[in-house]
Structure 1
Amino acid sequence: MLVGNALYWLMDIMTDDILEFDLDQQSLAVIKGPPITDDFRHASHWIVQAEDGAVGFAILTCSHLQMWQRIINFHGVATWVLWKTIDMHTIRGLPPQIDMIRIAGCIEDTDGLFLFVGHDVYMVQLNSMQSRKLFENRGYTYYHSFKSFYQPGDCSSLVLILQE
Structure 2
Amino acid sequence: MLPSSAAAVLEDGDLASEILLRLPPQPSSLPRASAVCKSLRSVASDPGFSRRFRIHHRRSRPLLGFFMGAGNELRFEPTLDPPNRVPQGRFQFPIDASDRSFKLLGCRHGFLLMLRTFQGTVQLLVWDPFNGHEHRLAIPPGFDKKQINGAVLRAAPGVGDIDHFQVVLVSTDVQQGVVACVYSSETAWGNLIATPLPSWGKIDPSRPAVLVRDSLYMLLLGIGGPSRIVEFDVGKQSLAVIPLPASFDYGYGRSCFYSVMRADGGGLGMVFVSAPGGSAQLWKRITNYDGVASWVLARTIELDKLISHSLKSQCCLHITGLAEENNVVFLWSGFGVFMVQLDSLQFKRLPLTTMHRWHPFESVYAAGI
In the alignment, what sits opposite 2:305?
Answer: 90
SS in 2 for 1:19: strand
Per-residue CA distance 1:76-96 (angstroms, 9 max, x = gap): 3211111111121221x4352
What is the aligned residue count? 149
Tell me if structure 1 keeps the 8 A contact 2:323–2:362. no
The answer to whether the aligner puts 1:103 opposite 2:319 as a matched pair is yes
1:33 pairs, out of 244, 247, 268, with 244
Sequence identity, in percent?
34
SS in 2 for 1:96: helix
Aligned equivalents of 1:85 and 1:142: distance in 2? Answer: 24
Aligned equivalents of 1:111 and 1:49: distance in 2? Answer: 7
Tell me how large the CA RMSD over aligned residues is.
2.7
Tell me if structure 2 keeps the 8 A contact 1:66–1:85. yes
Larger radius of gyration: 2
TM-score (norm 2): 0.37
The answer to whether the aligner puts 1:80 opposite 2:318 as a matched pair is no
Task: Say which structure is richer in helix.
Answer: 2
The residue type equivalent to 1:131 in the other structure is: F
Aligned equivalents of 1:116 and 1:89: distance in 2? Answer: 13
In the alignment, what sits opposite 2:337?
Answer: 121
Could you tell me which runs of 5 or more consecutive residues in structure 2 were left unpaired when the two chains were aligned: 1-209
The answer to whether the aligner puts 1:2 opposite 2:211 as a matched pair is yes
Tell me if structure 2 keeps the 8 A contact 1:48–1:56. yes
The residue type equivalent to 2:296 in the other structure is: V
Tell me if structure 2 keeps the 8 A contact 1:22–1:28. yes
Aligned equivalents of 1:134 and 1:29: distance in 2? Answer: 37
In the alignment, what sits opposite 2:261?
Answer: 48
In the alignment, what sits opposite 2:231?
Answer: 20
> Alpha-carbon deviation of 1:119?
5.2
Aligned equivalents of 1:113 and 1:133: distance in 2? Answer: 12
In the alignment, what sits opposite 1:161?
Answer: none
TM-score (norm 1): 0.78
Structure 1 pair 94/16, CA: closer, same or farther in 2 (3 Å)? farther
The residue type equivalent to 1:46 in the other structure is: S
Tell me if structure 2 keeps the 8 A contact 1:94–1:131. no
Could you tell me which runs of 5 or more consecutive residues in structure 1 were left unpaired when the two chains were aligned: 152-164
SS in 1 for 2:308: coil
> Alpha-carbon deviation of 1:136?
2.0
The residue type equivalent to 2:271 in the other structure is: A
Structure 1 pair 16/119, CA: closer, same or farther in 2 (3 Å)? farther
The residue type equivalent to 2:332 in the other structure is: F
Task: Say which structure is richer in strand.
Answer: 1
> Alpha-carbon deviation of 1:55?
0.8
